[in-house]
Amino acid sequence: MKNRFKMPAPDDLHLHLRDGDVLRAVLPYTAQQFRRALIMPNTTSPILNERDVMNYRDQIALAAYGSGHPEFEPLMSIQITEHTTPETIRWALVAGAVAGKVYPRGMTTNSENGVLDYRAIYPALTAMEECGMLALFHGESPNPKVFCLDREAKFLKILKRIATKFPRLKIVMEHVTTAKAVECVEALPANVAATITVHHLFLTLDDVIGGKLQPHHFCKPVAKKPADRIALLIAATSGNPKFFLGTDSAPHPRSAKECASGCAGTFTAPVAVPLLAQLFEQQRVLGKLKNFCSGFGADFYNLPRNTGTITLIREDWTVPLIYGDVVPFWAGKTISWRME
């Protein structure tokens, strides 16, 4: 049994950093493990254009420098709304945005300006296809009449339609949670991929509402059935380059989780790679961690793979109950690998 595990520096291709004090507080946990991260644009004041991209990247770069991680590279995105113009896309690309994120209206944190009619974003998607910007979809139907557990499955028709209409657009279905979504992404052409989070590899709906109510396991899309979790685990460890890590680590203050109307999101940044190492090793596929965390994502984004490495050490540690005022995933439980 190996006691050290060295791997290429990983990328987190779905990360919420928020801004201001929260950004400075949470960034170091990601930067200790990841060389790059795709930064989500649904901040309280959303990232919508080239100016927002530059300002937000400056904030992140400053926080990275200030916390001793000058090498950390944020991959920037803008939010695609029904009002995003082709010109906005082209300027955002010039400013360094590599992706545009599409939210279904009202279905998750800060998505009130999201999309209801996907045809309204076809001009933006056309511009993205032309200039090589990725389209990232929060894959749930924006139709408020769709039952919560069916929202992801109902989105697949939209995904197929867009993938067919824009064959050269690189599309990522973010944080897949169902066996149906995994099958759909597998069946679509090579321009469609998916991210898988850490927490969806561990949780089912039973961990949210099956015993007492667990607000720190509540996220969007909500965790599904045991068979869905198994499908995600198989996809993540299969070696299929369509599936790669995007943690969707999403910090909320404890007061916004343990309250009468709780925010969706799970703060996995402090535990992401060690916990994945533990899980992959239990599945006897520790070697598959490299491509899942450090290979396939960069390839799909047309980025060079990272040249640096990280090393994990086999050593039990107990996850703190709280970081600042944010309760992390796996709080109070033990992990058998830690970062060197």
- Choosing from 90, 225, 288, 314, the residue that interacts with a second copy (CB under 8 A) is 225
Task: Identify the burial level of 185 via C-beta atoms within 10 angstroms of its C-beta, where 0-12 means exposed, 13-18 middle and 19 or more buried.
Answer: buried
Looking up tokens 């992959």 gives 280
Angle between helices 151-165 and 179-187 (to 10 degrees): 10
User: Could you confirm whether 117 is annotated as catalytic?
Assistant: no
Which is nearer to a second copy, 214 or 238 (by Cβ)?
Answer: 214
Q: Is 113 in the site for a second copy (CB under 8 A)?
A: no
Q: Is 213 in the site for a second copy (CB under 8 A)?
A: yes
Which is nearer to a second copy, 66 or 106 (by Cβ)?
Answer: 106
In whole angstroms, the minimum distance from the beta carbon of 234 to a second copy comes to 19
Shortest CA distance to 338 belongs to which of 265, 281, 272, 256?
A: 272
In whole angstroms, the minimum distance from the beta carbon of 202 to a second copy comes to 16
Handedness of CA 170, 103, 306, 89 (dihedral sign): positive
- Choosing from 202, 218, 280, 323, the residue that interacts with a second copy (CB under 8 A) is 218
Q: Is 204 in the site for a second copy (CB under 8 A)?
A: yes
Q: Is 216 in the site for a second copy (CB under 8 A)?
A: yes
Q: What is the DSSP letter of 176?
A: -
Q: Is 320 in the site for a second copy (CB under 8 A)?
A: no
- Choosing from 94, 148, 230, 313, the residue that interacts with a second copy (CB under 8 A) is 148
Which residues, 6 or more positions from 190, have their beta carbon under 8 angstroms from its beta carbon?
A: 242
Q: How many positions of this chain bind a second copy (CB under 8 A)?
A: 29
- Cβ atoms of residues 230 and 173 within 8 Å: no
Q: Is 105 in the site for a second copy (CB under 8 A)?
A: no
Per DSSP, the three-state class of 174 is strand
- Out of 21, 206, 248, 316, which one is annotated catalytic? 248
In whole angstroms, the minimum distance from the beta carbon of 257 to a second copy comes to 8
Q: Is 271 in the site for a second copy (CB under 8 A)?
A: no
Stretch touching a second copy by CB under 8 A, among 32-40, 71-79, 89-97, 217-225: 217-225
Q: Is 327 in the site for a second copy (CB under 8 A)?
A: yes
* Both structure tokens of 86: 């082709």
Q: Is 206 in the site for a second copy (CB under 8 A)?
A: yes
Please report, as residue ranges, which positions from 116 to 145 form the binding site for a second copy (by CB under 8 A): none
Which residues, 6 or more positions from 272, have their beta carbon under 8 angstroms from its beta carbon?
A: 12, 30, 33, 34, 198, 245, 247, 249
Considering just the CA atoms, what is the radius of gyration of the chain in Å? 19
In whole angstroms, the minimum distance from the beta carbon of 210 to a second copy comes to 4
Q: What is the DSSP letter of 326?
A: B
Cα gap 323→129, rounded to integer Å: 40
Which is nearer to a second copy, 48 or 232 (by Cβ)?
Answer: 232
Stretch touching a second copy by CB under 8 A, among 29-37, 210-218, 268-276, 308-316: 210-218
Q: Is 86 in the site for a second copy (CB under 8 A)?
A: no
Q: What is the DSSP letter of 281?
A: H
Backbone dihedral angles phi then psi of residue 264, each to the nearest 5 degrees: -90, 135
Catalytic residues: 248
